[in-house]
Amino acid sequence: MCGNQLFINGEDAVSPLSVDLLETVKEMNFFDPHIHMTSRTTDDYQAMADAGIVAIIEPAFWLGQPRTSAHTFKDYYSSLIGWERFRASQFGIKHYCTIGLNAKEANNTALAAQVMELLPLFLHKEGVVGIGEIGFDDQTAAEEHYYRLQLELAKKARLPVQVHTPHRDKKRGTLRSMEIALEHGLAPDQLIIDHNNEETVEEVLSRGFWAAFTIYPFTKMGNERMVELVKRYGAARIMINSAADWGISDPLAVPKTAALMKAKGISDEEIRLVTYQNAITAFARSGQLDPQDFVVKAKVDQREKFAGNSVLRGGQQPRIDKSSIIIS
């Protein structure tokens, strides 16, 4: 972890703010609507819980190397609604996911066609709050084809859509993603347009879509820039996430940015909206997301098992909340 350093950006921070992160955010609850926990460790879960992250959404994505069979997609989706959801619960974090065929792998059209047949089997499972992350990577015809098919699925299932916008030629990709969704008759507020920056935010907000920002070191957005964006655009329909994954990323990006916003004079209510409430409102239309499930803290007992396995390995001592009546 980065200690007390709150800045997340590509360059050396000019004037490091020395703030006690946990002290600053101790009364706050956070919802990280985009994080790939499959790639993260139990230490991350523990640090996230300590920093006030009460719930997360894990979008289905590219695993860093291309899959060679639809079966591995099936197992991956199953783990998002199964083992990973359970693993999060063992740290007191409520886990939701979005299911979809990512843009990169849409280009393997033979495989993509098989994956499309799997998707309907998962969309109505417990904890699935949308279709995602889908959209454009290289902006190819195959990507567009599978994006359109998945928008149709979302329309039929009345689910929110989590849209990945491309790193290259971002503005064009973002505009196309929104135009195509409107063409298919989806409501703008059914889509969460992700990985925005200063170049795209205005177009997204003015069309009535949700604008998500990924605070990710070196590439997407630093959190000092994020503070400036909230100062300029306010908090309506804006949310932030970490998109932490197998790359150099920061699973505490949301609480760190909240602390930085506080230090920079953003109001508590605006911080609450962009780090918690807006994501809940956006994904609640799935009917699967009830804040009561994470506002009231579930008791943690790490001896619990999922399909016969717990998060503990031989001889490890479990974390059991003090209020638990179990004596071991």
Considering the complex, state which of residue 235 and residue 243 has its C-beta at the smaller distance from Zn ion: 243
Number of other CB atoms surrounding residue 47 within 10 Å: 19
Q: How far is the CB of 325 from Zn ion (least distance, A)?
A: 40
205 binds Zn ion (CB under 5 A): no
Stretch that binds Zn ion, among 84-92, 168-176, 236-244, 286-294 (CB under 5 A): 236-244
Find the shortest distance in angstroms from Cβ 311 to Zn ion.
23
- Site mask for Zn ion (CB under 5 A), range 94-133, x = bound: ----------------------------------------
Nearer to Zn ion by Cβ, of 134 and 258: the residue is 134
Distance CA 326, CA 328 (A): 6
Q: Which is nearer to Zn ion, 93 or 266 (CB)?
A: 93
State which residue, 195 or 237, has the beta carbon closest to Zn ion.
195
- 269, burial (CB in 10 Å: exposed 0-12, middle 13-18, buried 19+): exposed
Q: How many residues bind Zn ion (CB under 5 A)?
A: 2
Q: What is the DSSP letter of 188?
A: G
Nearer to Zn ion, 107 or 219 (CB): 219
Exactly one of 61, 86, 210, 294 binds Zn ion (CB under 5 A); that residue is 61
Query: What tokens appear for 284 in the block?
Result: 């609640």
Task: Pick the piece of the chain touching Zn ion (CB under 5 A) from 53-61, 63-71, 107-115, 283-291.
Answer: 53-61
Stretch that binds Zn ion, among 57-65, 83-91, 172-180, 271-279 (CB under 5 A): 57-65
Q: Single out the residue of 163, 181, 211, 243 in contact with Zn ion (rule: CB under 5 A).
A: 243
Closer of 52 and 59 to Zn ion (Cβ): 59
Cβ-based neighbours of 60, under 8 Å, separated by 6 or more: 76, 77, 80, 97, 98, 99, 100, 101, 102, 132, 133
Residue 67 CA to its chain's centroid (Å): 22
DSSP letter at 285?
T
Which of the stretches 43-51, 88-96, 240-248, 287-295 binds Zn ion when contact is defined by CB under 5 A? 240-248
CB closer to Zn ion, 3 vs 64: 64
**Residue appearing with tokens 């039929």:** 156
- H/E/C letters for each residue in 216-263? CCCCCECHHHHHHHHHHHCCCCEEEECCCCCCCCCCCHHHHHHHHHHH
**Contacts for 3 with CB less than 8 Å, ≥ 6 apart:** none
φ and ψ at residue 72, rounded to 5 degrees: -75, -25
Residues 6+ apart with CB under 8 A from 51: 21, 22, 25, 30, 252, 255
Nearer to Zn ion, 61 or 283 (CB): 61
Q: DSSP string spanning 139-174?
A: --HHHHHHHHHHHHHHHHHT--EEEEPPSTTHHHHH
Positions in 208-227 near Zn ion (CB under 5 A): none
Shortest distance, position 57 Cβ to Zn ion, whole Å:
10
Nearest distance, CB of residue 259 and Zn ion, angstroms: 23
Segment lying near Zn ion (by CB under 5 A), choices 14-22, 110-118, 151-159, 237-245: 237-245
Distance CA 220, CA 167 (A): 8
Binding site for Zn ion (CB under 5 A): 61, 243
